[in-house]
Chain A
Amino acid sequence: MFRLSDHTGDFAVEAEAPTPEAALGELVRALVVLMLGEDESLRSDVSITRALDGFDAEDLVVNFGNELLFLFETERFLPSSLIVDRLQLEPPHAHLEARLFGERLDRDRPLARPAKAVTHHEATFDVSPERTRVRLVIDL
């Protein structure tokens, strides 16, 4: 599950799931809702593979969020889901390999709320045996 929460100038996205992999999937959904609005849906006819590094889990998830925004601005691509092929969260070599499935949006498709960047401010990626919780502040 995920939710958008308040931050004075911007928005925070919070995602929660039983596993880190599933939490990343929820994070993807949260970002899509932030940018497209609640009622919008996406096809899954485009697949993009990405490998990313970070020095710890928080750094990795911030880099992941920024990669999604980069893909959107350069290719107009937004993912609706992902398959995590490899995920390592232990510092100092956090690493993610994932296949993103989604759609390249038409230029005239309206956006609800465009995002500039994912910040490190209060970024969290808390993993426990039962739940994984992610929180990111997005600069709009």
Chain B
Amino acid sequence: MADATDAKAPTQRRNALQSLEIDTRLLGMIGAFIVVALVFNVLTEGRFLTPRNIFNLTIQTVSVAIMATGMVFVIVTRHIDLSVGSLLATCSAVMAMLQTSWLVGEAMPLGSAALPWLAIVGGLVVGTLIGAFNGWLVGYLTIPAFIVTLGGLLVWRNVAWYLTTGQTIGPLDETFQAFGGISGTLGAQWSWIIGAVATVIALVGLFSARRTKITHEFSVKPVWAEAVVAIVVVVGIMGFVWVLNSYDLPERVLAREFQAAGQEMPEGYREAYGLPISVLLLIAVAIVMTVVAQRTRFGRYIFATGGNPDAAELSGINTRLLTVKIFALMGFLCALSAVVASARLTFHSNDIGTLDELRVIAAAVIGGTALSGGIGTIYGAILGALIMQSLQSGMAMVGVDAPYQNIVVGSVLILAVYVDILYRRKTGA
């Protein structure tokens, strides 16, 4: 994305930025996101940046963002996965059938506590196996990933159809629906607690990273720079929690709950939604995937293979097995997204995940993942998904016709990649 630092800015400011050691690409993406948000906020007369809309925006982004993190690994190793939307549909169909029909019997009637969990495990296993199969076709049979997953796009979409004989399956189990967003939130108190814990972990992480550098006598950034980063992190985390905690449940919903419990609702009583479970799931995926990318051999080999496949092979990396693992991980994440997507709808439908492959690839690419391989970040892909979703729902709020929305999103994709090319040329990265 665009480089937010102005080349003509005074030297002092550039030095300050350098000593902060902040990724200018990340800064550019956040800048682009803020611009998008502010523009829509003006166009919608302040309706875009309300707690309610931000809440909706985050839960709408989760499904695509989870898959986009896996797509980063796929694209970094110079492959592509066009089958993610169809894979999501198959996993969703499997999970819907498991919890409404296949597992249901005398031993386990509808509504059993174990039902949704067994369904989720079943879906995750299926997704991982299909992904591994794709990876085997690509890695060991050396069929191009484009072809394998183009075929998969058709195959799995229609396997999903056969599993449900084309029917819409629902309503899904209530516990299962908690992963969808609005029907599964933590409330204000737990959201604050989680925010505080996350803040402490982040600060400890920053501190220990600095200490490691000092013990190895590497150069560290000045203390003021560390402090600025720490403040940004604290404000970011707690601000996000505060926004989500400012979105209250509608009064009539609360009144109904009190009525059901046979109680009178106290005057002026309010209750906030807080952090949705689906957003927590995305944050957990983002953290795990970032650690995998930066701190594990698996991640190191993914980037090495993307940078130079021959060198990776000659360094003793089993690149074929690596391909299987990457696609298996992609399949697993598709299944995870299927949980979120079908839970949000409260049912499984045939067209679930349609065109998601394009949204996921676009999110990864807008997030700075290079199709030529070797370059990409997890946070970039998530921000990419968020920017895409903001454009889409922002235009819907402004009242732009659906065809125009797609025209704009498509143009933005091309423009974003062009800006990225210019950025790389300038920085030599």
Are A and B associated in one complex?
A: no
What residues of chain B have their CB less than 8 Å away from a CB belonging to chain A?
none
